[in-house]
Every structure is written in structure tokens, then in C-alpha cells.
Amino acid sequence: MLVYFVRHGESEGNKKGIHHTPEIPLSQKGIKQAIIIAKRLENIHFDLIYTSNMVRAAQTAEIINKKLKLPIEHWDSIIECLSPSEIRGKEVDDPEVVKIKELISKNYFKRNWKYSDEETFDELDMRVKNMLDHLKNHHPDQTILCVSHSQFIKSVVAKILFGNNLTPKIISEMKKHMWMENTGVTICEYSEKYGWILRTWSDSSHLN
């Protein structure tokens, strides 16, 4: 089985430097990026498209599917990692936002510690595990496209690489040092012999 994880196109949140809310749409640049990635993917045989139901990802999937013309399923399991509601819609550099994020980062290693309603490491780890299990159990020998988000895709790759040895420290460092372009393509493969492997990380050559 092959799974293509594609990050959504540039959103208005990316453009303006604000923390996303679910309804923030693609920017005009993001729409153009989605059209470009659609052209790149149109000659690949996919069996199904999964998309996050957050607007920026769903829009990207719909634009891609104008070329692919496949069934699309909205899947809550591949939405972006959830930040606390107190920072959603606010500028990244807002002093209060920075303060909240620093506090969360400081306490991220304390299992089940929460500032408010953000997703903890254990919750995210279980979501990713269940998502990967669903893919391998329901789509053997298929090629699946998942339109998702940068932090979530980083979490998927971290889980593939470290499995049950993944820790809050490892995933925090990986997210900090792994850059992902809008519409970057990450390809993962599952086989009974090798389990999950990472084949391609955030390939954005189609944007050059």
C-alpha cells in the first residue's frame, strides 16, 4: 500500500501569519498551488481521496479531484493537530499567544497536562496510530491520497520512524526542524515484510 500525504495549499492563515481556525480558506496563491499539485498527481492511479474537513484542506482536495475524479471522504482523523482555542484566529507573534505556547511547550512532557482544550501528546499519538491502522487494514494493495496539514503529517512521519518509542521530546524536536511546503508531497508505504517506511518527504518540486 502507498499513501500520499499532501499538505493543503497556502491558506489565508499562512499568508497573514495567524493561527488557524477550521473555516479559514485557501489564499489565491493556495488555489494556484492546488491546481499545480493536481496536474502533478493526475497520472497516478489512486483508489480513494481522504481529506481533512478543515476548509483549507477540503478546498485543496476538491481542486485536485477535478483532475482525479475519485470518491472523496472527509476524515476527522487527519485534521490538523489541535491548538488551544485561546490562540485560534490570533497572530502568531501576539504576546499573549507566545506566552501560552511557551507554557504548553514547557509542560508538553507532562503526560495529560493541558492548558485548556489543545491535543496532548498521548491523544495525538493515539489518533495517528489509529489512522495508520485504519489505512493498512482497510486499504491493502491500494494507493490512497490524504490531503492534510503540516503538523499532523510531521506527526505521522514521527510515528512511522519511531513507533512505540516515540516520545514528546522526539516529536517536538522533529516538528521544530522539519520544514514542509504548502502542497508538499510525503509518500509512505506499508508492507507485511517491512511495516511502514518513509519513501518521500515533502517534495515540492512541482512548485519550482
Which residue range forms the structural domain that includes residue 135? 2-207
**pLDDT, tens only, 76-126:** 999 999 999 999 999 999 999 999 999 999 999 998 799 999 999 999 999
Q: Outline where DSSP puts E strands in the chain.
A: 2-7, 48-51, 72-74, 143-148, 185-191, 195-203
**pLDDT, tens only, 36-92:** 999 999 999 999 999 999 999 999 999 999 999 999 999 999 999 999 999 999 999
Question: How many separate domains does the chain show?
Answer: 1
Backbone angles phi, psi at 180, to 5 degrees: -135, 125
CATH label of the domain that carries residue 27: 3.40.50.1240
Pick from 64, 60, 54: nearest CA to 30: 60
Residue 200 bridge partners (DSSP): 187
Is residue 160 within 8 Å of residue 186, measured between CB atoms? Answer: no
pTM of the model: 0.96
Q: Report helix, strand and coil shares of the chain as percent, to nearest 5.
A: 45, 20, 35
